[in-house]
Amino acid sequence: MRIVVFSDSHGNIRHCAEAIERIKDVDMIIHLGDILKDVEALELLYPNITIEYVAGNNEFRNTAPYNRVLEIEGKKIFITHGHLYRVKYEYDTIVQKGKSLKADVILFGHTHEGYEAYKDGMFILNPGSISLPKWGKASYGVIEIQDGKIGTCICNV
């Protein structure tokens, strides 16, 4: 299972499309919020790829949840934009939430800055922003789940 993870696209799906074309064999897309209209555009471009998503802090009049737990290939993946967990200031709150959910993977965005770690038995990944990076180049995440093992990375556009 190959999953591409985007966050903070803010109306620019051109980089999303470039990433999907570069990766190839994408089984799923996860969008971590800001802006959900971009999810609708991705659904039109890639109708055969499952897209999961959550709302971000810049979503108005939406009905999408801010948090979700996905079960994928027997792994529990907690997805959130991150703003409700103070991720611009610290990661302890979101790690504690992941632990309480018994998550294997925590995915969040909001900071526009990539972050990747393995802590307390969980993979933690912020793919950075696909359109408005805080530093350097636009980025996205890739998760591979194969034979019960998880691999993560952050890639630049």
Q: Per-block average pLDDT, block size 10, for the chain (157 residues)?
A: 97 94 94 93 97 92 91 98 97 98 98 96 97 92 97 95
According to the model, what pLDDT value does residue 36 have? 87
Q: Are 156 and 137 in contact (CB under 8 A)?
A: yes
DSSP code of residue 131: S
According to the model, what pLDDT value does residue 61 have? 76
The tokens describing 96, both together, are 């504690």
Would you call 123 exposed, middle or buried from its count of C-beta atoms within 10 A (0-12, 13-18, 19+)?
buried
According to the model, what pLDDT value does residue 140 have? 97
Q: State which residues form the domain around 131.
A: 2-156
CATH code for the domain in which residue 70 is found:
3.60.21.10
Structural domains in the chain (count): 1
According to the model, what pLDDT value does residue 24 have? 84
According to the model, what pLDDT value does residue 63 have? 84
The tokens describing 125, both together, are 């990944």
Would you call 147 exposed, middle or buried from its count of C-beta atoms within 10 A (0-12, 13-18, 19+)?
exposed
- Which of helix, strand or coil describes residue 134? coil
Three-class DSSP labels, 18-74: HHHHHHCCCCEEEECCCCCHHHHHHHHHCCCCEEEECCCCCCCCCCCCCEEEEEECC
Count CB-CB contacts under 10 A for residue 71: 9
